[in-house]
Chain A
Amino acid sequence: MTVDMELEAVLRAPELEMPPYPPKVITLANSKKMVVRPIKREDVPTLLKVVRPTLDIPRDYYDIVGARLYAELLGWYRYRVRNEYCLIGQVDGFVVGMVNGRMWDQNIGISLHTLAIDRGLHVGAHLFASKMEYHIEHLGQQEVWITAESPIGFRRWMIEYGLIKQEGVQHELGGATSYKLTRDLYFETKPRLVAGVRPVPQELLDQAMQSILIASEAEVTEKICGVKGR
């Protein structure tokens, strides 16, 4: 697609400086090593391939989360969403989950979505925690605004983190009730919710950085819905 750069210069929003998320490795319940790292804008088309199959999975609201995440990532790729980032979890090079968010301004972070492809291993919980870590510890923000589109998300985020309900404040994801994580709350919950070690052993990091491996559409559906199609 040809891009009119003169027009783009008008349409593209100016972006804030965002220091990159330093990769870390998390040991999962099955001892597999999950590398959590940021992707680059040019990685988005590859990542969209793993999001696409979720659009047809109503279970646990994967279709809603997937559709919105797809649009957010595409928007970032085409410079239509401001200050966005995406972190992925990789096991043996394969994407097992992802999270995204953005900076509203220097002080406030917006948590967008969390998508776990491999289920039953706390992949979503680990990645969500990594996202909070990024906003508070690396972007230096004061608070992160969060909402939930599924009961699992509500349970995991609002209850587990003891998030603060923001009466009368609308989250940009459609105006659902907004909750916030403050710096104090983050550091209070960090010991029990934020895992992983740095630096990532070079061999593991090289494997993760070499290429983003994507399971087939059928495999993604199977992973989300269960190995026996249930």
Chain B
Amino acid sequence: MNRMDQIVAYRCKKCGRIHYPCHDRCLDCKGRDFDRLVAEGDAKLLTYTQIFNLPWGFEVRFLIIGIVEFENKVKAMGQIHAASLEGIHAGMLLKPAWQPVRQVAGEAVYGLVLYP
């Protein structure tokens, strides 16, 4: 099973709500105690877009970005590695990886990359 050690979510000890990123109080019950929860498993695509007119710092024509839900219910945004939207659809399973997503001042910034 895929395990994304870099994506650490927080499950409220009181009500079980999963948070990613972290919050100081639970969004549902205001609880302050959380268990760490590493994102695991394949990632189910919930929604996505292909963005043109990118912000400063990206010298590519477009990015495909989506929001996924891992098998253990952690939800996260990531870049989808694909040449086009052909074959991409909500509900499909994607393989997650932790890879460079952009360059800042010549340094690679790592993040969630999703493979169809």
Contacts and interface: CB of A to CB of B under 8 A. Distances in A.
Contacts, number: 5
A159 B61 CA distance: 5
The A interface, classified by DSSP as helix, strand, loop or mixed, is: loop
Interface residues of A, number: 3
Interface string A152-187: 000000011010000000000000000000000000
B85 to A, nearest CB: 13
A162 B83 CA distance: 13
B59 interface: yes
Interface residues of B, number: 3
Contacts of A159: 59-61
B66 to A, nearest CB: 22
A160 B61 CA distance: 6
Interface string A135-164: 000000000000000000000000110100
Interface in B54-83: 59-61
A219 to B, nearest CB: 30
Contacts of B61: 159-160, 162
A147 B42 CA distance: 44
Nearest to A162: B61
A159 B59 CA distance: 7
- The 5 A-B residue pairs with the shortest CB-CB distance, nearest first, are A159-B61, A162-B61, A160-B61, A159-B59, A159-B60
5 contacts: A159-B59, A159-B60, A159-B61, A160-B61, A162-B61
